[in-house]
Homo-oligomer: A and B are copies of this chain.
């Protein structure tokens, strides 16, 4: 007669999910352990029992998000067709913003707040990633496959535009007078962004 159907791991993820929702809604300071506990259907001290502190729980949530963010655009090499790669990158990143806006928002709030908790990750893990991606794009430019533009600014531009639909969802819904963004919007926006960016850097998709 086990009132306790839940093992350690299940509770872990339950708390993490509740925390993600709460942090996503209220930000770090605004979120309270009590609310997270209520959401996870657990007494508050249990949260601390599993995660030691609020700051640590927050770090774990961020870590989870960064691990979930797939390595889109990661396997691309100089030999690939830049049009195909960039189009896929834009559409995948945009789709991720649509399906998982909460993750994007937590990350955004963290960075806007100065990236105090993930500054090290940015410098240690993301810098090499960006460097290697810039090299690939520069390779395409040198090979005459695309127009000469600043690769870093291009990557930031794609990041900014795609994440915008997750982070500023409230503004977009208010401005477009909608309840939610749907599959149709994803396609229209993906078409527009991909079209502008690809044309902008002198590329056309093969048929």
Contacts and interface: CB of A to CB of B under 8 A. Distances in A.
A123 interface: yes
A196 B126 CA distance: 24
A14 interface: no
Nearest to A156: B164
A130 B29 CA distance: 33
* Oligomeric state, in copies: 2
Contacts of A130: 175
Nearest to A115: B170
A126 B171 CA distance: 10
Nearest to A199: B200
Interface stretch (A44-52, A64-72, A74-82, A186-194): A186-194
Interface string A172-184: 1011110000000
A105 B191 CA distance: 29
A191 B200 CA distance: 12
A133 to B, nearest CB: 11
30 contacts: A27-B27, A27-B29, A27-B109, A27-B113, A28-B30, A29-B30, A30-B30, A30-B113, A108-B112, A108-B167, A108-B168, A109-B109, A111-B167, A119-B170, A119-B174, A122-B175, A126-B171, A126-B174, A126-B175, A150-B191, A153-B189, A153-B193, A154-B192, A154-B196, A157-B192, A160-B168, A196-B197, A196-B200, A198-B200, A199-B202
Interface of A: 25-30, 105, 108-109, 111-115, 119, 122-123, 126-127, 130, 147, 149-150, 152-154, 156-157, 159-161, 163-165, 167-168, 170-172, 174-177, 188-189, 191-193, 195-202
